[in-house]
């Protein structure tokens, strides 16, 4: 009896304890899922950077790690922390401003970073606002403790005993003269300069005796305009309210931004990958507006923002595909300001930019994909910008700018071949390059140049049509069909032609073209670029001989092997990481390919492939991204695909349906409208769509229009373990295409 009562009392106390624990347990918010260290080891090339910043913020902070160590997560030392053009470091003793560190004593989030600097036992932490950074250093007892500022390509000077200011260059970017910053920094208490330190123009070192537990805070404002503006930015954004208050505000900013998409179901790992991917998408472009004004590298003047922030730092060859379409969904007004920024850059420089870095336009990669960005916004019904001015800039790119890779300027003799014959000419077998404008390493990339400009011309044609420019529309649509000029029906591949119109002899669709295939392609081979007809999959299907041959070719793509040696293949094509057969998830030109099955009546194959890619090539650790993630493109592909849809052809106001990961996804659209995707019975096995309804009506199409969701709505998908080969498979159900 006593034992029974004891068990009852224990059970009651256990239930009470569980209830109390449940009430006090921390409910994870979106920012809690973000792991900035995902992808900080590259599979072959560039690793990610674990930035602390606000969404699209100008102050972007990550540890300065061992020079030359490209895989940041494997670097064993920290050399300091960015403060505009300066590097700030805390240390003790007579050593150098550098320390070993250990990830097991590190906290990395999008809003706050903390690490133990092992060599001096200093604990460093920081957070950020739009144009300012806030550092806090916890010192051990030390007779000589130091804070050092080192400025690249500039100078730093004391402003009394508790402040320093200066300016410098953050480093050259290819095609620009670097990014110039000003900064103003205040210490939380007066700190004397180390008189033993050599008086170097670009460095400043303090020296003080630290007691155990001493804390020194450093608040830094940055600016592209002036030291005075940097000070204003600091005083406006980080008043003396305390580190933890600023940190909490930055956390709120991230939860609000990430919270535009709410998911239910899925695993903790999937949520970590998802919200980290969304965080990376929201890091770029960068808002450089300061106090209602901005400094433009395009005309080297300060301009009034006139109520619309100015954005730079965009790699359009990457981001037009999925990052910008995602941004248009969840931060529409910001995306419109990005479009306005492109128009301003055109007005200030005379060219619509292709790769607007913080240092100015960089002539990087191929195509004029600002056209794709602007046309997509226009096609989806957003017109609150100067459309005529945008059109003038896009048309100038299309008509007057060279198509040559990594170049900007007027037409060359190669461009004139394109205008005359409808394809960009490749070197004939044995021919030596004689065109001086060709950038040697990047070569001509003749097939890729043709295909990507066909797509841009189609995008521009859609805007011309909307503006009633009928002659332009007819001309551009003709150019949009030039892709057919390079499809070799005998081989089934997009192939190079020399200026005389003959196929280049000895063409190998897998291994041809030299490093990165650049003689004919851009970082990928013909197995990938044969599908680069985003605007007209139906026309490509017709060239291939119909849906069955189109589908068979897609199947073969995912099975085709590199050849005798994967090592040799990746040595030639280092960007083609994340391979499934010849499909490289690690490189952007492949992104739309898994969704092309919807055009040939086999959307269940898309459902299988996108699940496989998300499962195999995205992870929640340092190796979690399989390619170069330097602009949010790879991450935005995952976000969209995990939600269950993807835009194959930006500029076409449509989304192709894939296979969602989560039971429910709620997307907050413009003006608070909500679009919900519900995937009933979804699981790892239940990845195939059995039936669907869109906004309450039966839906038998593997795509939907932007207009179907722009004012909110619901897509309900019934999922199962086996393909329903009849759902979405009718020819009339296929997504829109230029030829359809």
Residue with tokens 């009896």: 1
Instruction: Give the residues across from 87 on adjacent strands.
Output: 82, 150
State which fold the 35-258 domain adopts. Beta-galactosidase; Chain A, domain 5 (2.70.98)
Q: What is the pTM of this model?
A: 0.95
Percent of the chain whose predicted confidence (pLDDT) is above 70: 95
**What six digits make up the tokens of 114?**
């903390």
Residues 92 and 146 sit within 8 Å (Cβ to Cβ): yes
Q: How do strand 360-361 and strand 356-357 relate by DSSP bridges?
A: antiparallel
- The DSSP element (H or E) to which 490 belongs, if any, is none
- Predicted local confidence at residue 408, as pLDDT: 86
Least confident of 10-19, 402-411, 636-645: 10-19
Closest CA to 631 of 224, 9, 56, 15: 56
**What is the C-alpha separation between 642 and 271, in angstroms, rounded?**
10
What 3 state SS string does 163-229 have?
EEEEEEECCCCCCCCCCEEEEEEEECCCCCECCCCCCCCCEEEECEEECCCCEEEEEEEEECCCHHH
Domain ranges of the chain: 35-258, 268-276+306-643
Contacts of 306 (CB under 8 A, 6+ apart): none
Burial class (CB in 10 A: 0-12, 13-18, 19+), 617: buried
- Concatenating the DSSP letter of every residue in 278-341 gives HHHHTT-SEE--BTTEEEETTTTEEEE-TTS--EE---HHHHTTTHHHHHHHH-HHHHHHHHHH
Is domain 268-276+306-643 given the CATH code 1.20.1300.10 in the classification? Answer: no
d(CA 707, CA 425): 40
Q: pLDDT-based confidence at 174, cuts 50/70/90? A: very low
Q: Across-strand partners of 434?
A: none
pLDDT in tens, 222-244: 999 999 999 999 999 998 779 99
Mean pLDDT, to the nearest integer, of 343-358?
94
Q: Would the CA dihedral through 493, 495, 500, 501 be positive or negative? A: positive
pLDDT digit string, tens, across residues 463-490? 999 999 999 999 999 999 999 999 999 9
Give the ranges where 90-193 is alpha helix by DSSP (H). Answer: none
Strands 713-720 and 674-680 come out as parallel
User: In which band, very low, low, confident or very high, does the pLDDT at 20 lie, cut at 50, 70 and 90?
Assistant: very low
Per-residue pLDDT of 44-75, as tens digits, reads 988 999 999 999 999 999 999 999 999 999 99
pLDDT at 200: 57
Q: Would you call 639 helix, strand, or coil by DSSP?
A: helix
Tell me the C-alpha distance between 603 and 569, whole Å.
31
Topology agreement, domain 35-258 and domain 268-276+306-643:
no
In this prediction, residue 555 carries a pLDDT of: 98
Looking at residue 178, its pLDDT comes to 72
Tell me the helices (H) and strands (E) count for the chain, helix number first: 19, 34
- Report whether pLDDT(22) > 60: no
Rounded CA separation 652/735 (Å): 10
Residue that wins the pLDDT comparison between 441 and 663: 663
Are 642 and 663 in contact by the 8 Å Cβ rule? The answer is no
């Amino acid at each position: 009896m006593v034992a029974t009562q004891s068990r009852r009392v224990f059970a009651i106390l256990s239930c009470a304890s569980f209830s109390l624990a449940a009430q006090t347990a921390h409910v994870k918010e979106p920012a809690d899922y973000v792991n900035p260290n995902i992808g900080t080891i590259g599979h072959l090339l560039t690793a990610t950077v674990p930035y602390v910043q606000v969404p699209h913020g100008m102050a972007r902070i990550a540890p300065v790690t061992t020079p030359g160590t490209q895989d940041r997560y494997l670097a064993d030392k920290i050399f300091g922390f960015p403060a505009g053009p300066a590097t700030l470091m805390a240390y003790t003793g007579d050593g150098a401003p550098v320390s070993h560190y250990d990830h097991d004593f590190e906290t990395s989030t999008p809003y706050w970073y903390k690490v133990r600097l092992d060599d001096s036992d200093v604990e460093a932490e920081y957070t950020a606002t739009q144009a300012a950074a806030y550092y806090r250093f916890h010192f051990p007892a030390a007779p000589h403790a130091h804070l050092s500022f080192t400025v690249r390509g500039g100078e730093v000077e004391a402003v009394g005993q508790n402040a320093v200011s200066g300016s410098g260059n953050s480093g050259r970017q290819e095609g620009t003269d670097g990014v110039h910053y000003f900064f103003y920094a205040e210490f939380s208490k007066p700190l004397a300069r180390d008189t033993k330190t050599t008086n170097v123009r670009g460095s400043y070192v303090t020296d003080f005796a630290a007691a155990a537990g001493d804390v020194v805070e450093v608040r830094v404002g940055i600016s592209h305009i002036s030291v005075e503006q940097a000070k204003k930015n600091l005083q406006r954004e980080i008043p003396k309210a305390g580190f933890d208050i600023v940190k909490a505000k930055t956390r709120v900013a991230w939860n609000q931004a990430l919270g535009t998409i709410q998911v239910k179901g899925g695993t903790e790992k999937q949520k970590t990958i998802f919200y980290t991917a969304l965080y990376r998408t929201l890091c770029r472009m960068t808002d450089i507006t300061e106090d209602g004004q901005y400094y433009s590298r395009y005309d080297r003047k300060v301009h009034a923002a006139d109520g619309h922030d100015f954005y730079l730092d965009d790699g359009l060859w990457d981001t037009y595909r999925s990052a910008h379409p995602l941004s248009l969904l969840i931060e529409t007004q910001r995306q419109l300001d990005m479009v306005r920024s492109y128009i301003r850059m055109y007005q200030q420089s005379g060219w619509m930019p292709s790769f607007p870095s913080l240092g100015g336009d960089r002539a990087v990669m191929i195509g004029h994909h600002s056209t794709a960005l602007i046309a997509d916004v226009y096609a989806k019904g957003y017109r609150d910008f100067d459309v005529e001015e945008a059109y003038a800039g896009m048309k100038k790119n299309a008509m007057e700018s060279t198509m040559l890779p990594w170049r900007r300027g007027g037409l060359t003799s190669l461009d004139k071949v394109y205008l005359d014959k409808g394809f960009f000419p490749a070197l004939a077998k044995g021919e030596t390059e004689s065109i001086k404008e060709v950038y040697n390493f990047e070569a001509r990339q003749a097939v890729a140049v043709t295909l990507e400009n066909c797509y841009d011309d189609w995008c521009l044609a859609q805007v011309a049509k909307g503006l009633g420019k009928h002659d332009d529309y007819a001309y551009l649509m003709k150019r949009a069909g030039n892709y057919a000029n390079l499809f070799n029906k005998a081989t089934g591949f997009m192939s190079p032609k020399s200026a005389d119109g003959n196929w280049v002899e000895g063409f190998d669709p897998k291994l041809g073209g030299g490093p990165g295939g650049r003689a004919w392609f851009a970082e990928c081979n013909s197995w990938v670029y044969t599908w680069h007809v985003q605007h007209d999959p139906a026309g490509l299907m017709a060239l291939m001989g119909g849906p069955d041959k189109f589908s068979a070719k897609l199947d073969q793509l995912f099975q085709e092997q590199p050849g005798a040696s994967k090592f040799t293949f990746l040595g030639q094509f280092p960007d083609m990481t994340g391979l499934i057969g010849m499909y490289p998830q690690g490189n952007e030109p492949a992104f739309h390919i898994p969704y092309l099955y919807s055009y040939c009546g086999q959307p269940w194959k898309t459902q299988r492939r996108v699940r496989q890619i998300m499962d195999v090539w995205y992870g929640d650790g340092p190796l979690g991204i399989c390619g170069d993630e330097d602009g949010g493109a790879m991450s935005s592909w995952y976000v969209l695909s995990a939600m269950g849809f993807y835009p194959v052809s930006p500029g076409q106001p449509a989304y192709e349906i894939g296979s969602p990961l989560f039971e429910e996804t709620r997307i907050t659209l413009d003006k608070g409208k909500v679009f919900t995707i519900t995937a009933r019975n979804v699981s790892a096995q239940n990845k195939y769509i059995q039936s669907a309804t869109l906004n309450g009506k039966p839906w038998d199409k593997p795509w939907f229009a932007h207009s179907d969701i722009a004012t909110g709505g619901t897509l309900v998908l019934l999922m199962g373990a086996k393909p329903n080969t009849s759902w979405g498979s009718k020819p009339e159900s296929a997504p829109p295409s230029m030829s359809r």
